[in-house]
A and B are shown apart, each in its own frame.
Chain A
Amino acid sequence: MVFWRKKNNASEQEREEREDKIIHHPREPALEVSTENDSPSEKEPSFETEADILDDLESSPVPHHRPLEDAKEAEELSDHSEEGGWLSRLTKGLSKSTGRISSGIGDLLTKAKLDQDALDRLEEVLIEADLGPKTAAKVIEQFAQGRFGKDIDEQEIREALAETIAAILQPVARPLVIKKPENGPMVILVCGVNGAGKTTTIGKLAHSYKFGPENHIAPQSVMIAAGDTFRAAAVEQLEIWAKRTGSPLVKKDIGADAASVAFEASARARKEGTDILLIDTAGRLQNKANLMEELGKIVRVLKKQDESQPHEVLLVLDSTTGQNAFSQVEIFKEMVNVTGLIVTKLDGSAKGGVLVGLADQFGLPVYAIGVGEAVEDMQPFNAKEYARSLLGLGH
């Protein structure tokens, strides 16, 4: 089985049904229920067997991408001279929790053959990293192909599983490309649920664009807009980040219309020839229709300044979030056409494994990760290193 991207010929529902079937282990008891009291006339079509399901999957259309292939290609093409450094922070954070992962995999050493037991345990490692039951099953399924029953040692298992995961993530490990339009600022709108790390991320982004070495870009002029006009002291908080990064701040009083703050900031940035405008927004839960509508309004108002605005819409995701991240991405994307993700708090014990499923389902780029609370604690997302860290491997 391979990870497939959204296809027009396979409806969402079909896809979900299929996914649902493969989450069950072949080892699990068959769906044999008693029919002793059933009359012959109520025979229903029998349940599909695991084999049927797998057959089904084999015959599914060829995906646009074969992540494994993609990954290898990208690996060959990419420049490795700049790597290292950022990972130490991430690995430091992950190391605590990878202890358990390592020992879990360590147990596999005693078994020479990759058997179902070993796969089950690997799957559990992934589930505990927040991949979710369905994605974990898919990954393991993909991983097991061609390896099942083969002699394989611990190192190989880890390397191979990391490669499988990296392959899924590789297509989304893309940096945010800075491209200032001719006649105005590049506008970046930052949104997400409450407490995800939006404001801190804005501080980090401002820092990296102004002082740019990590992005290998020329220093840019940055302006910040205080679009969170709701939360207590949100403006004061952003004010401190603006000062820290030496960026001008456009703000209004608490309770003001967030869209009008964005509109004015956009106008001022154009007038002053600013390169990049970062717009903060209030945290909002994606199921609050009125608040989502308010976000939509910010976008509409920006388009009145310039149809191309906002050029990027970043969704900030907290890595401690579990499966709800799917709902977040789905709804924010629908409402304001999110162009990329930033995943925060990866310096903690949470591993943010939900990213794997998100990459598969939405394919949105992961522009950067947050690994601390200071301005410099933001790093590019590196699929390979992230996958290896997830499995307790060094780089």
Chain B
Amino acid sequence: MFESLSQKLGNVFGKLRGKGSLSENDVMAVSREIRVALLEADVALPVVKEFIESIKAKAIGQNVIKGINPGQQVIKIVHDALVEMLGSTTQDLRFGAPPSAYLMVGLQGSGKTTSTAKIAKLLSEKHAKKVLMASLDVYRPAAQEQLKQLGEQTGIATLSIIEGQKPLEITQRALETARKEGYDVVMLDTAGRLSIDTELMAEVSAIQKMAKPVETILVADAMTGQDAVNTAKAFDEQVGLTGIMLTRVDGDARGGAAMSMKAVTGKPIKLLGMGEKWSEIETFHPERIAGRILGMGDIVSLVERAAETVNTQDAMKMAEKFKKGQFDFNDLLAQMQQMQKMGGMGAMMKMLPGLSGMASQIEAAGLDDSILKRQEAIISSMTLHERENPDTLNASRKKRIAAGSGTSVQDVNKLYKQLQQMQTMMKRMKKMGAGKMMGMMKNMMGGKADELELMAKSMDPDGLGADMAGLGDMSSGLGPNPFAGKGNPFGGKADLASLLSKGKK
């Protein structure tokens, strides 16, 4: 549904390749894309404005890194700033002298009760704490019953329910019980309340004063919109939050609320709710949420890896060869090795949202790394002369190569065909003019960032369906050829197709 930010920035920066440094105009042009992306991810407007200003300050004047397009570079700046803002270190839950009280607060329906049980289970399993849970929700029908049942399911003790007791009375009883019976932690699950409900906000404040919790956690839904700032601010003012738990992160919301709440309260996001089961709780990873807010998964670490492994000189040399239509087995080998340096296909897939689930399908299609290995072996079994002159491969040579690499003649033929395909591609591209071709070369050899952009197009977390469709093409249309496939990270065929169609016009 949302176009990925990297794609948008790619468009903005389409003409910028090869420029020295990011100018104010460049950065202004992207900043509006970033603004829209953040707003679509539900980051609150005041937070967006502030953030954009800081990005401008950081990005203007930066030198453009060779081999990476400026759009990707700005994304990296944005991403890093986002991670920094979200809190780059994980914040652990704290404990005081037992019993430590944990107070859970939030709006109606934000997931407090489930989260209470999840944290209790986490504390008892991972931290070996003896935990007591108490529901102070006397308003919502069967709320106390719900916590009781969760206690039974998880094996965590719950405070007995006494009909007619008020939240403050229950609090007192919970604290006493915890003290007497030697609990390490007592978790207080409060009723959901609106931040503008002065009466109920005063109530939760009184509970806080009585319980003196070591952790006061705001439970907030990852789908929350602009109101996240009002809610977080109001609760923080009333009860002094120590942390935030973001729920329903297993949904497809972009989760900008996380950034809004962190920005207005300065309180860390400590935990993520990842499902309805009590075991589905995770510590907060800023990279993950940052990538999500930007709609691009963990693309940044991929860019980083590309920057590390790609030697720009090599890429240029390769491009030169392409230009002359000379693409031989040596070049193919170099390309394969580069891909493996980046962790192989599996690693790349896993880093990208929407593709992580495709690993099995990739295997089914025979597109795994073992193919790369096999093809590498085939090339290694060729003489230098054969590598540089693919046309000399005759039947007897092929037989020898197959035997030497432990493959079949069929495999050798496939690889040969693959090379021919690439050569044809080169020749077609030659007609399109040098400039475009250089861009294309960069796509194929050096500028990993550009391929990532391509990948990102089919990889928006919101567009899982499209990803799968893309895979269909990849596996059926072109055979087990990791270099010529459509939607293939290193073939750039999709880009080629669009370039070709433009060329025809």
Q: Which residues of A contact B (CB under 8 A)?
A: 16, 20, 23-25, 28-29, 31-42, 44, 93, 96-97, 124, 127-130, 132-134, 193-197, 230-234, 236-237, 239-241, 285-288, 318, 320-327, 330, 345, 347-351, 354, 373
**One of B15, B110, B230, B256 near A38 (C-beta < 8 A):** B15
**One of B19, B139, B248, B433 near A37 (C-beta < 8 A):** B19
From 480 to 505 in chain B, residues with beta carbon under 8 angstroms from any chain A beta carbon are 502
- Given contacts A237-B142, A321-B224, A345-B108, is CB(A128)–CB(B153) below 8 Å? no
A373 & B107 in contact (Cβ 8 Å cutoff): no
**One of B41, B45, B141, B223 near A193 (C-beta < 8 A):** B223
Taken together as a complex, chains A and B put the C-alpha atoms of A106 and B114 apart, in Å, by: 44
A349 & B146 in contact (Cβ 8 Å cutoff): no
Q: Is the interface of A mostly helix, strand, loop or mixed?
A: loop
Contact with A along B137-164 (1 / 0, CB 8 A): 0011111011111100100000000000
**One of B19, B29, B109, B462 near A194 (C-beta < 8 A):** B109
From 290 to 347 in chain B, residues with beta carbon under 8 angstroms from any chain A beta carbon are none
* Chain A residues with CB below 8 A from B248, complex form: 193-194, 285
Chain B's nearest CB lies how many Å from the CB of A194? Answer: 7
Whether B42 is near chain A, meaning CB under 8 Å from some CB there, is yes
* Chain B residues with CB below 8 A from A230, complex form: 276
Chain B's nearest CB lies how many Å from the CB of A372? Answer: 9
B16 & A320 in contact (Cβ 8 Å cutoff): no
Whether B124 is near chain A, meaning CB under 8 Å from some CB there, is no
Taken together as a complex, chains A and B put the C-alpha atoms of A132 and B2 apart, in Å, by: 12
Whether B479 is near chain A, meaning CB under 8 Å from some CB there, is no
B109 & A322 in contact (Cβ 8 Å cutoff): no
Taken together as a complex, chains A and B put the C-alpha atoms of A351 and B231 apart, in Å, by: 13
Of chain A, the residue at the smallest CB distance from B194 is A348
B435 & A38 in contact (Cβ 8 Å cutoff): yes
Whether B363 is near chain A, meaning CB under 8 Å from some CB there, is no
* Chain A residues with CB below 8 A from B179, complex form: none
Of chain A, the residue at the smallest CB distance from B227 is A350
Whether B1 is near chain A, meaning CB under 8 Å from some CB there, is yes
Most buried by B among A41, A130, A323: A323
* Chain A residues with CB below 8 A from B42, complex form: 322-324
Of the listed stretches B32-40, B236-244, B413-421, chain A binds B32-40
Of chain A, the residue at the smallest CB distance from B253 is A324
* Chain B residues with CB below 8 A from A41, complex form: 433-436
**One of A31, A34, A134, A324 near B252 (C-beta < 8 A):** A324
* Chain A residues with CB below 8 A from B146, complex form: 231-234, 236-237
- Given contacts A239-B142, A348-B195, is CB(A33)–CB(B45) below 8 Å? no
A97 & B230 in contact (Cβ 8 Å cutoff): yes
Chain A's nearest CB lies how many Å from the CB of B297? Answer: 15
A33 & B28 in contact (Cβ 8 Å cutoff): no
Q: Beyond the given A288-B250, A327-B1, could you list 10 further A-B residue pairs with CB under 8 A, ordered by the A residue number? A: A32-B29, A39-B434, A130-B225, A233-B142, A233-B148, A240-B141, A320-B221, A320-B224, A326-B1, A345-B108
B196 & A232 in contact (Cβ 8 Å cutoff): no
- Given contacts A44-B14, A132-B39, is CB(A287)–CB(B252) below 8 Å? yes
Of all A-B residue pairs in the complex, the 4 with the closest CB atoms, nearest first, are A322-B225, A195-B109, A42-B435, A322-B42
Taken together as a complex, chains A and B put the C-alpha atoms of A324 and B196 apart, in Å, by: 24
- 28 A-B pairs (CB sep. < 8 Å): A23-B36, A25-B32, A28-B28, A28-B32, A32-B25, A32-B29, A37-B17, A37-B18, A39-B434, A41-B434, A44-B14, A93-B194, A128-B45, A130-B225, A132-B39, A133-B40, A194-B109, A232-B146, A234-B146, A236-B142, A288-B250, A322-B256, A324-B223, A324-B251, A345-B107, A348-B196, A349-B196, A351-B227
Chain B's nearest CB lies how many Å from the CB of A321? Answer: 5
B141 & A354 in contact (Cβ 8 Å cutoff): no
A195 & B226 in contact (Cβ 8 Å cutoff): no
* Chain A residues with CB below 8 A from B149, complex form: 232-233
Whether B376 is near chain A, meaning CB under 8 Å from some CB there, is no
Of chain B, the residue at the smallest CB distance from A17 is B3
Most buried by A among B227, B248, B251, B254: B227
Taken together as a complex, chains A and B put the C-alpha atoms of A345 and B149 apart, in Å, by: 27
Whether B474 is near chain A, meaning CB under 8 Å from some CB there, is no
Chain B's nearest CB lies how many Å from the CB of A328? Answer: 8
A322 & B251 in contact (Cβ 8 Å cutoff): no
Taken together as a complex, chains A and B put the C-alpha atoms of A373 and B194 apart, in Å, by: 11
B435 & A321 in contact (Cβ 8 Å cutoff): no
Of chain B, the residue at the smallest CB distance from A351 is B227
- Given contacts A133-B35, A349-B231, is CB(A286)–CB(B108) below 8 Å? no
From 198 to 234 in chain B, residues with beta carbon under 8 angstroms from any chain A beta carbon are 221, 223-227, 230-231, 234
A195 & B439 in contact (Cβ 8 Å cutoff): no
Of chain A, the residue at the smallest CB distance from B251 is A285
Whether B12 is near chain A, meaning CB under 8 Å from some CB there, is yes
* Chain B residues with CB below 8 A from A348, complex form: 107, 194-196, 227
A320 & B145 in contact (Cβ 8 Å cutoff): no
B15 & A130 in contact (Cβ 8 Å cutoff): no
Chain B's nearest CB lies how many Å from the CB of A204? Answer: 13
A233 & B145 in contact (Cβ 8 Å cutoff): yes
**One of B45, B107, B148, B251 near A320 (C-beta < 8 A):** B107
B111 & A35 in contact (Cβ 8 Å cutoff): no
A354 & B142 in contact (Cβ 8 Å cutoff): no
* Chain B residues with CB below 8 A from A193, complex form: 223, 248, 251
- Given contacts A37-B19, A193-B251, A231-B146, is CB(A321)–CB(B223) below 8 Å? yes
- Given contacts A29-B25, A195-B221, is CB(A349)–CB(B194) below 8 Å? yes
- Given contacts A124-B45, A232-B149, is CB(A31)–CB(B226) below 8 Å? no
Of chain A, the residue at the smallest CB distance from B464 is A287
Chain A's nearest CB lies how many Å from the CB of B429? Answer: 13
Taken together as a complex, chains A and B put the C-alpha atoms of A41 and B431 apart, in Å, by: 11
B28 & A322 in contact (Cβ 8 Å cutoff): no
Of chain A, the residue at the smallest CB distance from B113 is A232
Taken together as a complex, chains A and B put the C-alpha atoms of A241 and B142 apart, in Å, by: 10
Chain B's nearest CB lies how many Å from the CB of A15? Answer: 12
Taken together as a complex, chains A and B put the C-alpha atoms of A79 and B297 apart, in Å, by: 52
Taken together as a complex, chains A and B put the C-alpha atoms of A103 and B195 apart, in Å, by: 21
Chain A's nearest CB lies how many Å from the CB of B12? Answer: 7
Taken together as a complex, chains A and B put the C-alpha atoms of A23 and B44 apart, in Å, by: 17
Whether B26 is near chain A, meaning CB under 8 Å from some CB there, is yes
Taken together as a complex, chains A and B put the C-alpha atoms of A196 and B224 apart, in Å, by: 12
**One of B25, B28, B196 near A93 (C-beta < 8 A):** B196
Taken together as a complex, chains A and B put the C-alpha atoms of A120 and B293 apart, in Å, by: 24
* Chain A residues with CB below 8 A from B32, complex form: 24-25, 28
B111 & A195 in contact (Cβ 8 Å cutoff): yes
* Chain B residues with CB below 8 A from A39, complex form: 434-435
Whether B95 is near chain A, meaning CB under 8 Å from some CB there, is no
A320 & B227 in contact (Cβ 8 Å cutoff): yes
Whether B183 is near chain A, meaning CB under 8 Å from some CB there, is no
* Chain A residues with CB below 8 A from B435, complex form: 38-42
